[in-house]
Amino acid sequence: MGMQNLEELFQQKIDKEVKIEPKDWMPEAYRKTNLRQISQHAHSEIVGMLPEGNWISRAPSLKRKAILIAKVQDEAGHGLYLYAAAETLGQSREQMINDLHSGKAKYSSIFNYPTLTWADMGAVGWLVDGAAIMNQVMLTRTSYGPYARAMVRICKEESFHQRQGFETLLVLSKGSKEQRAMCQDAINRWWWPALMMFGPRDSESTNSDMSMKWKIKRKTNDELRQQFVDMIAEQVKLLGMTLPDPDLRWNESRNHYDFGEINWDEFWQVVKGNGPCNKQRLDARRKAWEEGAWVREAAQAHANKQRTRKKAA
């Protein structure tokens, strides 16, 4: 069968909502963009453990500490399902991790901001996990089977993460004057970076057209960002707090909230590696990889022994 026919059949499958599975024929560009997105998503989950890990030893109570540990552990699990999904596209996990450590692969801009106070744990849960879910609910229906299936479980866990973040802030919002100020300050610092998580404006989004055609993405960056603003602009009222945007207001004719201009310079600086914590995050990951070498070697030696024993038996 000619290449063109294969591509037509492939697109027909996509249009009929048939999932693409690892052994199916797929255009090389489809394989590559899935590998890019899934591996970057996996890296985000793993790097995303660092800002929250920072507060495990300082959580204000045993209960809060147990919750935070569970959340950070969930992120590790998400990273692992996603690496496994990406591996089905023919790249080894080691290669993906090398690409992260060398700076070749991206991870979400959001994790290059510092977590300065306990209220940041609430703001990260509410806003960062909130933005993540908005994007990931769409991805449960993405066209590549292994990615879609990983997303179903991830979304269940993320919704618990978002609720715990909101509840953390709700407690602070009812607390002392200092606690309320800490809550507002965390919202002020995380709001704009959370909006940047959805990626560049549609007009600047290089991958969107093909990803929409192939149903890897089902909503554009701007559509998801708007949906997120509409949700958070209402939820913030329950906290008795405000969002740091003087242009935020309900627009009757659009049936959406209008909001101010994102600082795209800042976004691209962070994506290029010049955000407040980029260096710290990559250094931490490289160090963890080096210090974990003996565990990987021991696991490999054990697997080899098992194999030789099985052969001998």
Binding residues for ligand FAQ, rule: CB under 6 A, are 36-37, 40-41, 44-45, 48, 75, 106, 108-109, 124, 128-129, 132, 135, 196-200, 205-208, 211, 221, 271
Please identify, using beta-carbon distances, which residue of 180 and 218 lies nearer to ligand FAQ.
218
Q: Residue 115: name the closest of 289, 245, 284, 276 by CA.
A: 276
Least separation in angstroms between residue 58's CB and ligand FAQ is 17
Least separation in angstroms between residue 126's CB and ligand FAQ is 11
Q: Which helix or strand (DSSP H or E) is residue 298 part of?
A: helix 293-312
How are beta strands 256-258 and 249-251 bridged, if at all? antiparallel
Is there a contact between 183 and 173 (Cβ–Cβ < 8 Å)?
Answer: yes
Least separation in angstroms between residue 282's CB and ligand FAQ is 13
Q: How many other β-carbons are positioned within 10 Å of the β-carbon of residue 176? A: 9
Least separation in angstroms between residue 250's CB and ligand FAQ is 26
In the beta sheet, which residues pair with residue 251? Answer: 256
Q: What are the structure tokens assigned to 71, written together?
A: 């959340």
Least separation in angstroms between residue 9's CB and ligand FAQ is 24
Cα-trace Rg, the chain: 21
Written as one letter, the residue type at 117 is T
Burial of 82 (0-12, 13-18, 19+ CB in 10 A): buried
Please identify, using beta-carbon distances, which residue of 82 and 239 lies nearer to ligand FAQ.
82
Please identify, using beta-carbon distances, which residue of 44 and 173 lies nearer to ligand FAQ.
44
Least separation in angstroms between residue 52's CB and ligand FAQ is 6
Which residue of this chain has its Cβ atom nearest to ligand FAQ in the complex?
48
Going from the C-alpha of 108 to that of each of 46, 88, 118, 195, the distances in angstroms are: 10, 22, 22, 12
Please identify, using beta-carbon distances, which residue of 7 and 99 lies nearer to ligand FAQ.
99
Q: What are the structure tokens assigned to 149, written together?
A: 């299936």
Residues 6+ apart with CB under 8 A from 209: none
Please identify, using beta-carbon distances, which residue of 242 and 269 lies nearer to ligand FAQ.
269
Least separation in angstroms between residue 8's CB and ligand FAQ is 24
Residue labelled with tokens 């109570």: 61
Please identify, using beta-carbon distances, which residue of 40 and 164 lies nearer to ligand FAQ.
40
Q: Kindly state the DSSP code that residue 114 receives in the 8-state scheme.
A: -
Least separation in angstroms between residue 78's CB and ligand FAQ is 7
Q: What's the CA gap between 137 and 151, in Å, rounded? A: 8
Please identify, using beta-carbon distances, which residue of 10 and 200 lies nearer to ligand FAQ.
200
Please identify, using beta-carbon distances, which residue of 157 and 180 lies nearer to ligand FAQ.
157
Q: What's the CA gap between 77 and 80, in Å, rounded? A: 5
Least separation in angstroms between residue 32's CB and ligand FAQ is 10
Q: Which helix or strand (DSSP H or E) is residue 33 part of?
A: helix 28-47
User: Coil, strand, or helix at residue 106?
Assistant: coil
Please identify, using beta-carbon distances, which residue of 67 and 271 lies nearer to ligand FAQ.
271
